[in-house]
Copies of this chain bind each other. A is one copy, B any other.
Amino acid sequence: MTPERKIFRRIGPDLRREAMIAAMLAIIAEEGISAATIRAVAARAGVTPGLIGHYFDGKDALLSAAYAQHMSDLTRATCGQDAHTQGQSAAARLAEFIATGLRPPVASTQAVTLWAGFLTYVQQGGRMRDTHAATYAEFRDHLQGLIADALTEAGRPAATADLRRHAIACNAVIDGLWLEGGLLPEAFGADELTQIGLGSVGAMLGLDLTAAHEK
């Protein structure tokens, strides 16, 4: 009766890393970041705690990697819809961008919870702050491009300074609605945030995005 040792399989280093990141994200989303200990992540990933130290240079490195992954997922899910709206009008593309950001999986309690869990560490500088700044810039630049196209299409091209202000404002609306929807999901109707988002941004830009979105 020798103490039976765990039998294990080697999956590639990349897969192993991904599994650990996925485990960390799942735990943060479900139980909060304070529950995301090395041991808990290891157990969820079906692995021994020591192995995490083998793939990541300490817990902070795993946290950073998980944050980068999550933000990358969100950005890809939001900006990646451009492919589906290639032939349509600029207004329709902008409307679809907004709608995508305000409906699952982008807008969801889980996504907001994850983001919020990381936020504490973002503020303390280091890699996570850079990731945040880069993600924000990418998202807003993308939005600014869509706004520029839509205004040009409407025969009202705008100067760069105005475009910047519009992008900041539209981004704020989307962020705010995304946040509130994720924090208090039961406080809003199914389609409500999307409609409000389209209506608000439309009013700010002088475009009828609701009509553009329904086509």
Contact = CB atoms under 8 A, between A and B. Distances in A.
Interface of A: 31-34, 109, 113, 116-117, 119-124, 132-133, 136, 165, 168-169, 171-177, 179-180, 183-184, 187-188, 192-193, 195-197, 199-200, 203-204, 206
B171 A173 contact: no
Nearest to A168: B196
A172 B169 contact: no
A120 B109 CA distance: 12
A110 to B, nearest CB: 10
**Identical chains in the assembly:** 2
Contacts of A119: 116-117, 119, 183
The secondary structure that dominates the A interface is: helix
Contacts of A200: 169, 172-173, 204
A165 B169 CA distance: 17
Contacts of A195: 165
Nearest to A28: B120
Contacts of A192: 165, 168
Contacts of A123: 32, 109, 113, 116, 183
B179 A179 contact: yes
Contacts of A133: 184, 187
Given A121-B32, A123-B32, A172 B180 contact: yes
A187 B140 CA distance: 12
Contacts of A136: 180, 183-184, 187
Contacts of A188: 168
Count chain B CB atoms within 10 A of each CB in A109, A117, A203 and give the residue with the most: A203
